[in-house]
Amino acid sequence: MNSQDRRIRECLEIHRGEPLDRKPVQETPWAGRPAIARYMTTSIVNFALRVFINGEEEYYDVANTNLYENARYYREHKNVRDDRDSYYWQLGEQIRILYHYGRFGDRKSGLLRDETELEMVHMMAEYLYDNCRMDFFEYEVSRTWKIHESENHHLQRANAYRMQAMMVQKYPEYGDMMCGDGHRLSEHLKASTRFLKEWICERGRKSLLVECASPLYSKQCLKEAYHLYDITEDMELRSLAGQLLDLYFATVAQEHLNGCRGGGQARVYPWCYRSGFTAFHVGHYCALGIGRPAPLDENDYTPLDSDYRCPELIRRMAQDPEMRGTYEIFSRPAGLADAQNHYPDYSAEKGYGGIVRYSYCTPHFIMGTLHFHRRPNHDWLAISSQNRVQGINFGSDRDARIVPVPRPNPKPERDRVSMGTAYNHWFSAQKEGCLITMPMPEEYTVHGGEPMSIWVSSPGELADHLEEKGGWIFTHTVGAYVAIYAAGEYEIDPDCMERNSFDQLQPMGSGAQIRCKTGDAAVVIEAADREMYPTYAAFVDAVLANHKPKVEAEVLSYRSLQGHEFIFGLGKDDGATIDGADPAAEIRESYKSPFLNGIWGEPTVELRYAGETITWDFSVKEE
């Protein structure tokens, strides 16, 4: 048993022997939407997959009964089935159960009772008849960048169609049935398989996901990659899905400390960015051996059931930040919308997506941001501009971080569901350990326009060490030193409280917050690895001896500790330069670092580490 197999077995043992804790169907918080059955389905499917994998025979009847009731629920509540937040979130795991334990099972056929199996198949056939449409798989014009609702929703739905078509046509009760759009299952299977191959190749060639590095939504896309790898009879699709997983884990391996990925990210809610939270902790732990095992949640049994194994070279890179050293990472994810940007169908700009993602990595901290130009929110795909996050995570503690992000606008007229969400709400420039940032003009944002706030965590003792000296705020943690300059007035709040989505006042978490008092105030953050200065006091002296940021005629100018000249415009449509160059200017690379490299739009991506090389080819070869 190799190390990844051992970690998978360790996670599978976490809940062994536990009875089913079936969750109820929930009322929706959104007006006009049906109930949410996703959490009920998650509890049932996680339980069933666990007991079948582990051979917990005493629970086989309970698993069958609840799988039957789950399928019956969706057959009787088609409005819930067809809503975006219930049915297909756990569909892949249900197909895994059929694939392994149904009458055609490849592991132990017959663990599913006939009535349970057929109820699940009836559910899937009805869903396909009512929902599957051939135009959903168009790729020749869109190049897969026409996105329905969000990137993870579109992928989940496309693969749900493919997997169900593959399974349902095995049953004589349905065979090659006709769907409601006049096309047969075999046609849908062929079209969806080709679409998904193109989808994988486009993401591989072009810096992966629009929902870039999201600690929440990356998981929903990646669990589909596992399904594409395991549940298919098309070997090219399986190979491409494996490459996509390899590449994703390589990007994490070069940009994490303590299992927490650093760098600029999108779709990160406030309750996420204040800690080292990642929804995909099980995938990271099993594939890379980073982070830690924890109670298993939605979709976590997918990587545990999968045959995919991450290359050992990537795991070694992930586990040795000292060996990786100090370096920069660049990529250029999609983000800008073209003229067809109308919810629920977005269309991404297929050329330059408007973003240069930048990270500066040392063995003790990672600082990163997203470089882009000031432009109104309607220029962006909402899944790119929503809850963007930047800042620093530290190796001293999993939850040690400093995050400069304006708080979402809490005006009373905002509906309670959106109070934790803001779009396109900051602008920044970074080079190595220096970051300058400020809020976007309110008219360019949605739920934005608030002054900058800097979250400073108690983990790593960062909040405990805050001290004001010479116009700067200093702090330190094991291995790293930080200085923060807030232009204009600010306050330090050590007892952070906020109103949640239900208008209740509650603690923000374990840390302090530096709050600027005006929306036009910029923030400068300097971070240094301990190797750069003999002592913390020497770092403080170097900052104080350096010239302070200078503001004149709506321009902030500053020379960083590492000698880079920042010219940071403060006006509504101003940009920024670093050493005379625009940090948001289009780059030719899709991936650029000492380890991972590829040219944007070209199929070959290469990983080099410790004298070894892995090369991936993201091109479709079979017709």
Helix (H) or strand (E) holding 251: helix 235-253
Q: Among 184-193, 414-423, 471-480, whose mean pLDDT is lowest?
A: 414-423
How many C-beta neighbours within 10 Å does residue 148 have? 16
Furthest-apart CA atoms within the chain: distance in Å: 80
Residue count (the chain): 623
Q: ω into residue 344 within 30 of 0, thus cis?
A: yes
Angle at 353 between CA 351 and CA 359, to 5 degrees: 130
Q: How confident is the model at residue 175 (pLDDT cuts 50, 70, 90)?
A: confident
For the stretch 105-131, pLDDT in tens is: 999 999 999 999 999 999 999 999 999
> Tell me, what's the pLDDT at 292?
83
| Predicted local distance difference test score (pLDDT) of residue 408 | 84
Which alpha helices (H) appear in 472-582, and where do they start and end? 536-545
Contact 383, 210 (CB under 8 A): yes
Q: 421-464, pLDDT tens digit by residue?
A: 899 999 999 999 999 999 999 999 999 989 999 999 999 999 99
**Dihedral angle of Cα 421, 423, 424, 426, to the nearest 10 degrees:** -20
Q: What is the per-residue pLDDT for 535?
A: 97
Q: Could you tell me the strand order of the sheet in which 555-559 lies?
A: 550-552, 555-559, 565-569, 576-578
**What pLDDT was estimated at residue 503?**
56
User: Tell me, what's the pLDDT at 484?
Assistant: 98
Mean pLDDT across the stretch 465-493? 96
Q: What distance in Å separates the CA atoms of residue 597 and residue 331, rounded to the nearest whole number?
A: 9
Q: Tokens in use for 463?
A: 């909040």
The residue whose two tokens read 């040392």 is: 362
Question: Considering the chain, what is the average pLDDT of its residues?
Answer: 94
273 within 8 A of 232, measured Cβ to Cβ: no
Q: What percent of the chain has pLDDT over 70?
A: 96
For the residues 405-431, what does the mean pLDDT come to? 77
Q: What is the DSSP string of 263-317?
A: S-BSS--HHHHTTT--TTHHHHHHHH--S------TTTHHHHH------HHHHHH
- Is pLDDT at 297 greater than 60 in this prediction? yes
With cut-offs at 50, 70 and 90, classify the pLDDT of residue 412: low
Q: Could you tell me which of 166, 170, 162 has the C-alpha nearest to residue 197?
A: 162
Query: Distances from the Cα of 244 to the Cαs of 192, 260, 373, 595, in angstroms?
Result: 17, 20, 29, 17
Each residue's pLDDT tens digit, 189-212: 999 999 999 999 999 999 999 999
Beta strands in 546-611 (DSSP E): 550-552, 555-559, 565-569, 576-578, 589-592, 596-599, 604-609
Between the CA of residue 131 and those of 91, 128, 196, 344, what are the distances in Å? 14, 5, 18, 16
The two structure tokens encoding residue 424: 């396109």
Which distant-in-sequence residues (6+ apart) come within 8 Å of 455 by Cβ? Answer: 273, 274, 391, 401, 402, 403, 404, 405, 508, 511, 513
Name the DSSP letter for residue 145.
-
The SS3 call for residue 434 is strand
> Which pLDDT does position 416 carry in this prediction?
46
Helix/strand/coil for 581: strand
Instruction: Please say whether the beta carbons of 253 and 314 come within 8 A.
Output: yes
Q: pLDDT tens digits for 260-274?
A: 999 999 999 888 888
The one-character DSSP state at 409 is P
> Alpha-carbon distance 397 to 269, whole Å?
21
Kindly report, residue by residue over 560-588, the tens digit of the pLDDT: 999 999 999 999 999 999 999 999 999 99
pLDDT of 504 reads 58
Question: Residue 331 has which token pair?
Answer: 């990529």
Tens digit of each residue's pLDDT (9 = 90 or more) over 31-78: 899 999 999 999 999 999 999 999 999 999 999 999 999 999 999 999
Band (pLDDT 50/70/90 cuts) for residue 414 is very low
| pTM to 2 decimal places | 0.96
Confidence of residue 343 (pLDDT cuts 50, 70, 90): confident
DSSP 180-234: TTS-BHHHHHHHHHHHHHHHHHHHHHTTS-SSTT-TTTHHHHHHHHHHHHHS-S-
CA 114 – CA 112 distance, rounded (Å): 6
Give the pLDDT band of residue 289 (cuts 50, 70, 90). very high
Q: What is the mean pLDDT of residues 246-263?
A: 96
Q: Per-residue b/e over 495-532, b at no fewer than 16 CB within 10 Å? A: ebebeeeeeeeeebbebbbbbbeebbbbbbbbbbbbeb
Q: What is the pLDDT of residue 235?
A: 97
Rg, the chain, Cα only:
25
Strands 401-404 and 391-394: antiparallel
- pLDDT at position 502 is 52
The candidate with the shortest Cα–Cα distance to 492, out of 468, 509, 508, is 468
pLDDT in tens, 4-29: 999 999 999 999 999 999 999 999 98
